[in-house]
Amino acid sequence: MNIVLEKGLEVIRSVTPIFLFVMAIHFFLVPFDSAILLAFILGTLLIVVGLSLFLTGVDIAITPIGEYLGKGVAKSNKLIILIPVGLLLGFVISVAEPSLLVLGNQISLVTDGAMSSLQLVLVVSIGIAVMVTLGLLRIVYRWTFIKVIGISYLIILLLSLFTTSEFLSIAFDASGATTGVITVPFLLALSMGLSTIEKNSVRSGEDSFGLVAIASAGAIMAVMFADILISTGTLTGDLTISFGFQETLLQSIVDISVQQMGEALLSISPIAIIFLIYHFTLLKLPKRRIRRIIMGIIYVILGLILFLTGVNFGFMNVGSIIGYELTQFDHYNWLYILSFILGVVTILAEPAVNVLATQIERVTSGALKPGFIYTALAIGVGIATLLASLRTTQFGLELWHLLLPGYIIAFGLSYFVPSTIVSMAFDAGGVASGPMTGTFILAFIQGAAQGVTDASVMVDGFGMIALVALMPIITIQVFGLVYTLQKK
How confident is the model over 317-344, as pLDDT tens digits?
888 889 888 888 877 888 999 999 988 8
- Torsions phi, psi of 388, nearest 5? -65, -40
- pLDDT at 203 (0 to 100): 47
Give residue 201's pLDDT: 45
25 pLDDT more than 60: yes
pLDDT for res 372: 75
Q: Is the pLDDT of residue 270 over 80?
A: yes
Q: Residue 195 is part of which domain span?
A: 2-487
* Statement: residue 461 has pLDDT above 60: yes
Can you give the pLDDT at residue 51?
85
Distance CA 359, CA 95 (A): 24
- Measured between alpha carbons, how far is 462 from 106 in angstroms, rounded to an integer? 10
Closest CA to 304 of 90, 445, 102: 102
238 pLDDT higher than 70:
no
Q: What is the pTM of this model?
A: 0.79
Q: What is the mean pLDDT of residues 192-214?
A: 63
Taking only the tens place, the pLDDT of each residue in 366-398 is 777 777 778 878 888 889 889 888 888 876 778
**Between residues 194 and 382, which one has the greater pLDDT?**
382
Taking 70 as the threshold, does the pLDDT of residue 241 lie above it? no
User: Considering its fold, how many domains does the chain have in total?
Assistant: 1
Top mean pLDDT of 140-149, 240-249, 288-297 is at 288-297
* Average confidence (pLDDT) over 112-136: 86
Distance CA 100, CA 120 (A): 8
Hey, how many other C-beta atoms are within 10 angstroms of the C-beta on 207? 26
Q: How far apart, in whole angstroms, are the C-alpha atoms of residue 343 and residue 461? A: 16
Q: How far apart are the first and last CA of the chain?
A: 46
B/e letters for 10-22, b = 16+ CB within 10 Å, e = fewer, are ebeebbebbbebb
Of the two residues 111 and 407, the one the predictor is more confident about is 407
Q: Across the chain, what does the average pLDDT equal?
A: 81
| Percent of the chain surpassing pLDDT 90 | 9
Phi-psi map region of 234: left, alpha, beta (phi>0 left; psi -120 to 50 alpha): beta
> What pLDDT does 207 receive?
60
pLDDT of residue 155: 93
Q: Is residue 237 pLDDT above 80, yes or no?
A: no
